Structure 1
Amino acid sequence: MSKQKLELTWIGKEKRPKLEPRILLEDPEKSYHAKHRVSDNDIFDNRLIFGDNLLALKALEQEFSGKVKCVFIDPPYNTGSAFAQYDDGLEHSIWLGLVRDRLEIIRRLLSDDGSLWISIDDNEAHYLKVLCDEIFGRKCFVTSFIWKKVDSPNDNKGALSPDHEYILCYVKNPDSIYFRPKQDESILNAYRQPDAESDRPYRDRLLKKNGKNSLRIDRPSMYFPIKGPDGVDVYPIHDDGQEARWAMGKKGVDELIAKGELVWKQRESGGVLRWVPYTREYAPDAPTRPWPTIWSDLHTTRQTKAHQRSVLEGVQAFETPKPEDLVSRILSISTNPGDWVLDSFAGSGTTGAAAHKMGRRWIMVELEETCHTHIIPRLRKVIDGEDKGGVTEALSWHGGGGFRYYRLAPSLIVNDRWGNPVINPEYNAAQLAEALAKLEGFNYAPSETHWWQHGHSSERDFIYVTTQNLSAEQLQALADEVGPERSLLVCCAAFHGVTAAKAAERWPNLTLKKIPKMVLARCHWGRDDYSLNVTNLPMAEIEKSEPAPPGNSFKNTKSRKAALANAGQGGLFGENE
């Protein structure tokens, strides 16, 4: 019998984009840093990337694979609703395909003990869960948290109006899961401090609660007698003399006794011999308990919009922003200070703002103009210590740090006026070398001493990029300088005086490739937008002359099928519809 597996299928699932690994270009004028270092823990290498997030994820893959501790994303929910900043009413199959492409790269970016958190609602939550099961594995699913997003009734919204959203949580490796329990000082009110009679430095289990013994007597059939040190059945006794049994399973108590983790103290109380269990519960300096999965104690959408309006004066607030304390809680559970945090659907910049205040290093990606109208002004206020809302007060944040602003470089290959593919003339020599190094899997690191070392893949393997036509004499000189103990990939416009086969035989330490021919079949060149915005997809061009019906659907099945096919992502309809 062949091995089978469960999977989510959709038309066009097999179609995958051949992504171009773009380089990132910093714009120092948009980068921003605190004028003075506030503390030794200030972080300045945070990254804000303007551009399509699928291309940006691909651009980050070489440098950050296995290094990101936490990814939080808030993708468009595919609700068909029109928002002021974007319109996310995509066909279901296209949405699945575009999300799948991003999740696969995100998984590679995560560290072995990293985690992914996805904000979503009922429109796609359950399909997304199955999709994540396929990409990460069902064992990597942790739980789905519920966030209560409203704090007032939705009047006149009909019989049912959802007031919650989900946060799906996955880990990359279930055997290396890293989550920090919730520290809770209220636990101190439920346990006594170790006293002089304690023979172990553990916090005592409290038998008194609200003035009465906490052991239950209302369901005696669930309890059992406990063996004391002398082997005689003993019963904790209430102050009123009624008999009670400790509510822990007999097997559990016996195992604790066998391990020496449960000991007994003999006390006199009113002439009655009582056995009081002592058990290891919490270290005195760090009481913790598990995090709840229903989060109704965080800021709501209304409160978060009010915070945005106070920070971004005169700028329209997002309709559905996520609160900083939501992101802060996620980062508290899954990261430590200094860890890398990624949000590839940055929106208004909440992830970066919360991570910055918490001392985490962050990367955010945003394609929309909100990168400039919302994120940059907001982060500048965070850095200057002028953002008084969100988690500022809880974290005693006073400013500091900075970020670098990057944009995606244009496509490396463009067509000339005759339709022939050529190297983009906007690239200078350094950018071309960096781009080809990334395409070939080399780390771009120009040497200050060897002019032919533009990057390396190991200590002895290098890459050299030039737009010149190299002669046999030049190649011989280059081979001599590289030497027999090293190897060099030579990317040039052309080479003369020798064939490729002869070159490999004559210079075994050199590998020759012609540009741009060497990369033409590698990628889909010239495409700058893989976003989940329906107006940016190729399908939108087909019906530009026709008025769009409500909900961003297509007017008829024929044009819909054609558009989906042209989009390269498949559609919802079969061949024999």
Structure 2
Amino acid sequence: MAGAKQLLELTWFNKDKALIPSEEGRYAYEWVDPKDPRYCETRALVVDEVVTSEQSPKDEDTQYSERADLDPTEDNLLILGESGDVLEALTRVPELREKYLGKVKCIYIDPPFNTAQTFANYEDNLEHSVWLTMMRDRLVHLRKLLSDDGSIWVHLDDVESHRMRLLMDEVFGSGNYVTEVKWEKAYAASNNASGIPMVTDTVLVYRKTTAFQRNKVARSSAMNARYTNPDRADKGPWKPSDKSARHNLGRRQHPGVYGIQHPVTGEMMYPSSSSNWRFEQPEMLRIMREWGRYELGESTDEELARRKSVEGPNVELRPEIRPIVIPHWNQEDASRALGRYAEGNWPVYYPGEGGLGAFQRKIYLSELDGAVPKNLWPHSDVGHSDSAKKEIQALFPGQLPFATPKPERLLERILHIATNPGDVVLDVFAGSGTTAAVAQKMGRRWVTCELVEDTFNRFTCPRLEKVVNNEDQGGISIQKQERVDATEEGLPDGLSPDDAQKFNSALNKVLAANPELKTEAVVKALKTATKTKNQKGVVNWRGGGSFTVAHLAPQCFDYVSELNLVTLTESATGATLVNSVAANLNFSLTPESRHFDGKRGSMFLKVVEGRLDKDKAEELLAHLNEGEGVTLAATELEPGIRQFARTTDKPCQIVHIPNDIFTYSATQEGK
């Protein structure tokens, strides 16, 4: 949990209970006590194969983006298993915990739990409780995996989003709420829909701590079209922006509040109310000297009174901060400033309205590193559900196994905002594997898991194989074709290539109805001034990298309620038992050791399947060096072996499997 006590808490039936799958490979669960070994057993991973491929070389005739030059990531993990058990492994198995605990930069989950479908057989009050308990348990683990500067993105429809918001407040802390993204998943509502059709999904975004920093997104051509170059500036297109910046009112005047004399009218100009000039005074003075012979003036009573109107009546003024003025301003100064205006390439602060208006500030397009992301994502920017279905159909022709797949561009936007190349991305509801596919194409490391074995074998794993083998040219692998300027002089200021193409399309329709106009000089000039062309798609992905395919080891511990007894399963034998005991006792495996199965600090582990007697214990103790100890875990103990362990000259702990690993009893529940 987030630690800080919440003012508002969501309660539900059996909130103090845990849930375990009641059927293998299905979303069906039963309530148990959180101490029940069927819930809290840590299961190790079993590696099945490593899928690897080389990055394809470049072609001379193809244009590539910078992303296509990233080294493909190799340290990735695809797991077959239930998300709760996978998260238990990632947070508790020593080898996995070392790699992922507190090191995941971004978590995206699209939980496949819809109360109207998955829990149709539950009563209404229970179905929401099941969903909330499952999500609570997973969110607690997910928070542990997040890095301090990480974020989690939870994709929902309108069924549970309001409850999830309260649940995430409880787990992550309400102060770590970032935003609620609205994704336009459909570009048109069905005419057959009843009520008010839902065309958006919600993505709730929370951070781990205030260390989270979001990246800016790429600018669109429409955004860039707002920038023009009326003064022929050397730095290229720009747009006017606020001359001043707002500040919090304090007891003393802000140092950026003072007058600046207008170079043409001679009038004293001031920042807006409760605002200040955007640059420190030495820089402002340097800028203004491009317009005339500016100096620091005197803080007159009139000038201080104007500052008071900016700052408010209860603020202490600072006479030592002096205005910027042209001493003995006259018409010669005005003429000089107007001449400078006519030259063009104005300074970053300039007088508007032909040189006679208020000061304005220039923002150059060339100095922008992107756009601040907003929480409304139209389908034109990130795709929609239909485009996502087409991506799946292109990969798996003739099949459409997922009702609500997500387009790669949607995940691209999320991972771009939340991560950088090399960061770790986690998705524990893989489905078709979109998150992992996009992460691989963007040079991020990833971990993902899928519960349903048929989905895993037919779609998730094959899709990711196609990605690393460079057999997936859909989604974000290639940027879509776009309109670009094809004129010799450049498109008119403020006109984007898309707008120019629309204008030409409309003009052609007019000419089709009035063919006699085609020879008119003005028509030819208009078509020449708005000429555009399609630019071939730029390649973002050339394949390569690798991922490990693994599955959860079978359960080794069970609880028989009729006997009120923790027992071993049929799978609890050989390497499966060794790995399970090591994971649950927090030992890292030592396959290189001839005598021991695991190690934790100076303590070794040996798992004995069968009877542990004094002779076996002495033999193992003989392999220890000075300062080392051993934990001996066995399924059967010789009488008196614990007393013998207390007499040894080296630390020796005796553990019975399963009684000393899980001491749970239903009769203790609630005590």
Q: TM-score, normalised by structure 2?
A: 0.65
CA distance in 2, matches of 1:114, 1:245: 45
Give the partner amino acid of 1:234. Q
Report the equivalent of 1:234: 261
Out of 382, 391, 410, the residue aligned to residue 476 of structure 2 is 391
1:301 shift after superposition: 0.4
Is the aligned partner of 1:149 residue 2:185?
yes
2:566–2:664 contact (8 Å) kept in structure 1: no
1:180 aligned residue (194, 208, 215): 215
Q: Is the 8 A contact 2:186 2:384 kept in 1?
A: yes
Report whether the alignment pairs 1:290 with 2:435: no
Matched, 1:441 2:523: no
1:523: Cα distance to partner? 10
The yes-or-no answer on 1:53 pairing with 2:83 is yes
**Counterpart position of 1:365:** 449
Instruction: Provide the aligned length of Structure 1 versus Structure 2.
Output: 490
Cα distance change on mapping 1:367 and 1:185 into 2, 3 Å: closer
Distance of aligned partners of 1:167 and 1:472 in 2 relative to their CA distance in 1, 3 Å threshold: same
**Equivalent residue number for residue 52 of structure 2:** 33
- Does residue 403 in structure 1 map to residue 547 in structure 2? yes
1:380-430 deviation line (CA, Å, top 9, x unaligned): 2222222222111035212222322212111112589x9886544435533
1:353 aligns to 2:437 (yes or no): yes
1:216-240 CA distance string (max 9 Å, x none): 9xxxxxxxxxx999x7642487xxx
Q: If you compute each CA radius of gyration, which structure gives the higher value, 1 or 2?
A: 2
1:437 deviation in Å? Answer: 0.9
8 A Cα contact 1:471 1:495, kept in partner: yes
Q: CA RMSD in A?
A: 4.0
Partner of 2:16: 14
Please say if 1:455 is aligned against 2:540: no
Q: Residue 519 in 1 paired to residue 601 in 2? A: no
For the pair 1:111 / 2:147, whether they are aligned, the reply is: yes
Give the distance between the partners of 1:236 and 1:289, measured in 2 at CA. 34
User: What is the identity, as a one-letter code, of the residue corresponding to 1:405?
Assistant: V
Q: In 1, distance between residues paired with 2:558 and 2:444?
A: 39
Question: For 2:472, what is the secondary structure of its paired residue?
Answer: coil
1:102 to 115, 138, 148: 138
Q: Distance in 2 between matches of 1:493 and 1:121?
A: 49
Distance in structure 2 (CA, Å) of the matches to 1:415 and 1:292: 50
Contact 2:554–2:576, Cα closer than 8 Å, also in 1: no
User: How far does the alpha carbon of each residue in 1:193-216 deviate from its partner, in whole angstroms, 9 at most, with x for none?
Assistant: 9x9999xxxx7995xx5xxx7789
Deviation of 1:346 after TM superposition, in Å, equals 1.0
Offset of 1:93 from its aligned partner?
1.3
Residue pair 1:479, 1:509 contacting (<8 A) in 2 also: no
Kindly tell me: are residues 500 and 184 of structure 1, through their superposed partners in 2, closer, same or farther at Cα, counting changes over 3 Å?
A: same
Partner amino acid, structure 2, of 1:506 = T
Give the distance between the partners of 1:215 and 1:242, measured in 2 at CA.
Answer: 21
List aligned pairs for 1:86-485, cutoff 5 A: 91-174=127-210, 176-184=211-219, 206=238, 209=239, 233-235=260-262, 251-253=275-277, 256-258=279-281, 260=283, 263-265=286-288, 266-267=290-291, 271-272=336-337, 277-278=348-349, 287-296=369-378, 297-368=381-452, 369-394=454-479, 396-413=540-557, 422-448=567-593, 451-458=594-601, 460-485=602-627
Deviations 1:441-500 (A, max 9, x none): 12223333xx33322222x22222121423323323433432441222111233436352
Distance 1:479 1:149, change over 3 A: same
* Offset of residue 179 of structure 1: 1.8
| C-alpha distance after superposition, 1:299-353 (max 9, x if no partner) | 1001111221121112224111111111111111111222211111111111111
- Is the 1:304–1:322 Cα contact (8 Å) retained in structure 2? yes
Paired residues of 1:71 and 1:116 also in contact (CA < 8 A): yes
For 1:101 and 1:280, the matched residues in 2 are separated by 51
**Aligned-pair distance for 1:22?**
0.8
Letter paired with 2:103: K
* SS class of match (2:40): coil
Equivalent position SS for 1:32: strand
Contact in 2 for aligned 1:262/1:277 (Cα 8 Å): no
Q: CA deviation at 1:94?
A: 1.2
Q: Would the alpha carbon gap of residues 288 and 261 (structure 1) be closer, same or farther in structure 2, given more than 3 Å must change?
A: farther
Measured in 1, the distance between the counterparts of 2:607 and 2:181 equals: 50
User: CA separation of 1:54/1:267 partners in 2, compared to 1, >3 Å: closer, same or farther?
Assistant: same
Distance 1:215 1:421 in 2: 70
Q: Secondary structure at the match of 1:151?
A: coil
Cα–Cα, structure 1 residues 170 and 215, in superposed 2: closer, same or farther, change >3 Å? closer
More contact order relative to length (CA 8 Å, sep ≥ 6) = 1
* Matching residue's letter, 1:264: I
- Contact (CA 8 Å) 1:82, 1:88: kept in 2 or not? no
Q: Which residue of 2 aligns with 1:486?
A: 628
Q: Quick one: structure 1 residues 289 and 88, their matched pair in 2 at CA, closer, same or farther if it must change by over 3 Å?
A: farther
> 1:390 is aligned with what amino acid?
G
* CA gap 1:377/1:276 in 2 versus in 1, 3 angstroms: same
Letter aligned with residue 409 of structure 1: A
Q: How far apart in 2 are the matches of 1:242 and 1:324?
A: 57
Q: 1:62-99 CA distances to partner (integer Å, 9 max, x unpaired)? A: 3221121111000135341479xx99997111111111
Match for 2:108: what amino acid? F
Q: Whole-Å Cα distance in 1 between the matches of residues 44 and 123 of structure 2?
A: 28
- Using a 3 Å threshold, how does the CA distance of structure 1 residues 36 and 136 change in structure 2: closer, same or farther? closer
Q: Which runs of 5+ in 2 are unaligned?
A: 19-33, 58-68, 244-253, 293-333, 350-360, 480-538
Q: Secondary structure at the residue paired with 1:467?
A: strand
Instruction: Give every structure 1 segment of 4 or more consecutive aligned residues whose post-TM-superposition deviation is greater than 4 Å.
Output: 35-40, 86-90, 185-193, 195-198, 203-206, 213-216, 241-250, 258-263, 268-286, 418-422
CA distance in 1 between counterparts of 2:215 and 2:377 reads: 17
Taking structure 1 as reference, are residues 72 and 399 closer, same or farther at Cα in structure 2, changes over 3 Å only? same
Contact 1:188 1:287 in 2 (8 A): no
Say if 1:100 and 1:276 are closer, same or farther in 2 by CA, change over 3 A.
same
User: Distance in 2 between the 1:500 and 1:137 partners?
Assistant: 46
